[in-house]
Copies of this chain bind each other. A is one copy, B any other.
Amino acid sequence: MSANHSLDYGDLAFIYIDSKRKYLVKLGKGKILGTDKGFIKHEDIVGKKYGDIIYTSRNVKAYILKPLLIDLLQGLKRVTQIIYPKDSSLMIYLSSITPGSLVLEAGVGSGFLTASLANFVGDSGRIIGFDIREDHLLKASENLEKLGFDKRVELVLGDIREESIVVDNIFDAVFYDLPDPWNALNTAYKALKPSAPILIYVPTVNQIEKTVLSMRKHGGFIDIHVYEVLLREYSVEKNATRPYTLMIGHTGYIVFGRKISA
């Protein structure tokens, strides 16, 4: 989807009125975007281009933007805790995934990390995403389809703790967001290509410890590191620049390791 084609039904658009009024819409016939600053008919967006301006029924200016990855995620529905951009960005970077990569993910949850992975592996890449809950997979599937990422992802209902669920030595990276990743280390080890990385996300310090000690005991992982990312946002005003008063003080921790020959 080029950035300067004329928008049509089925396209995604990110409608930006101000910093508190941002909406991801999939253009549909007869549909209307309602806001407290007035409404916008989808049919009035059709034919316009990304970057164009449109006015609400109350004559408030809105921008039609091409959705970025962060906008796509903001437009999705959540049935689970999600992994935030500050964490998924580092996980993806450390994983070294690249266009065409084959990635194993478990558990998929609402599909937020899945969508990020899909953005970076591209059409030639593929995510195999596991979850033990069918309702999660249904929500993830719906979310990924909305974003047009469904062709890059294969969702599988199953328990990643069962080694037999994966093929040997084919994955460029493994991403885990599980309550008990230590029970799925054998599967990750089996699935990863030789020397490929695993990235594990856990919310508590206890899970860090149990995960890392299990990786060490397993023996098939080296270069194990644990990271925590803190993100601060700044308020900028002339002669009065400072961080915002409130910040997210915690989301989770990232465990990194690489498969080696045992």
Contacts and interface: CB of A to CB of B under 8 A. Distances in A.
Copies of this chain, count? 4
Contact of A243 (B53, B242, B250): B250
Interface in A47-76: 49-53, 63-66, 68-70
Interface of A: 3-4, 16, 19, 22, 49-53, 63-66, 68-70, 85-86, 88-90, 92-96, 98-100, 116, 119-125, 169, 172, 193-197, 203-206, 208-209, 212-213, 222-234, 236, 238-253, 258-261
A232 B228 contact: yes
Contacts of A258: 16, 65, 68
A232 B233 contact: no
A36 to B, nearest CB: 19
A177 B126 CA distance: 33
A197 B205 CA distance: 27
Contacts of A259: 51
A249 B225 contact: no
A250 B137 CA distance: 39
Given A206-B239, A226-B233, A234-B226, A194 B51 contact: yes
B194 A261 contact: no
